Amino acid sequence: MIRGPFHHNKYLCTKKHRMKGKPPKESYTIMNELVLPNDTNPLNNLMGGRLLHWMDIAAAISAQKHCNRVVVTASVDNVSFKHPIKLGDVITIEAKVSRAFTTSVEVRLNVYAENIPSGTRIKSNEAYYTFVALDKDGHTIPVPELLPETPEEIALFDGALRRRQLRLILAGKMKPDDATELKALFFGDEK
Ligand SMILES: CC(C)(COP(=O)(O)OP(=O)(O)OC[C@H]1O[C@@H](n2cnc3c(N)ncnc32)[C@H](O)[C@@H]1OP(=O)(O)O)[C@@H](O)C(=O)NCCC(=O)NCCS
C-alpha cells in the first residue's frame, strides 16, 4: 500500500543513487502518424484504441528519455474523444514528463489532428500516462527528479501530486485518507 503524498527522496538522498535532475524539455517527444484505412472504423474515423496505442508509444519514448531505463505503462488516466478524426488526417502527439516521483513518472500528452488539404488543425485530446522504470531484472528503480522551468511546466508539476493521488486511490493503492493534497482541493486545509 502506497502512503503519504509521495516518498520522493527515499532513494535520491543516498550517495549511491544520487541522480541529476532533468528539465521537462529533455523528455520532449513528438510523433506523427497518418490515419490510413486500417486505422479506421466503418465510418472512416480513427479508432480510439489505435490512438491510445500511438499515445502509449509516444509517452513511453518520453518516459524513457527522462529515466534512461526501460519503462512500463502503469496507468492511463481518463481520455475523452471529443472530435472524430478522419481518414487521411495527420496526427501529431506531443509528450513530455510532467513530474517524476520515486520510481514512476507522469507524462502529459497533447494530441492534434490536422487535415492538410483543407488547412485545419484541432486539438483532439489531452492525457496523462504513468510509467514505472525497471532495471534489467524487472525490479522498480529510482528515476531522476524533474526540474520544471516554464510557468506551464510548474503548473503541471504542482497538479501532478493530486492526479497521482486520485489514480492510486482508483487503483486501490492508496487510502483516500492519505490523499492530503487531493482532499485539500475539495475541503480546504480543514482537518
Ligand atoms: C507497474 C508495476 C511495475 C508496479 O509494480 P508494483 O509492484 O505494484 O509497484 P509498487 O506498488 O511498489 O509501485 C511502484 C511505482 O508504481 C506506481 N504505481 C503502481 N500502480 C500504479 C497505478 N495504477 N497508477 C500509477 N502509478 C502506479 C507507484 O505509485 C510507484 O511509484 P513511485 O515509486 O514513484 O511512488 C507493475 O504493476 C507492473 O509490472 N505492471 C504491468 C506493467 C505492464 O505490463 N504494462 C503494460 C500493460 S499491457
Q: Is 6 in the pocket of ligand 1 (CB under 6 A)?
A: yes
Percent of the chain with pLDDT over 70: 89
Q: Is 2 in the pocket of ligand 1 (CB under 6 A)?
A: yes
Residue 10 pLDDT grade (very low, low, confident, very high; cuts 50, 70, 90): very low
Q: Is 98 in the pocket of ligand 1 (CB under 6 A)?
A: no
Compute the distance from residue 35 Cα to the ligand 1 centre, in Å. 32
List pLDDT tens digits, range 86-110: 999 999 999 999 999 999 999 999 9
Task: State how far the Cα of 88 lies from the Cα of 45, in Å rounded to an integer.
Answer: 9
Sheet with 104-115, strands from edge to edge, namely 29-34, 90-100, 104-115, 120-134, 70-76
List pLDDT tens digits, range 102-136: 999 999 999 999 999 999 999 999 999 999 999 99
> From the DSSP assignment, how many helices (H) and strands (E) are in the chain?
4, 5
What is this structure's pTM? 0.91
Q: What is the chain's mean pLDDT, rounded? A: 91
Predicted confidence at residue 130, as pLDDT, reads 98
Domains, the chain, ordered by start:
9-149 (3.10.129.10)
Q: Which residues pair with 72 in a beta bridge?
A: 132
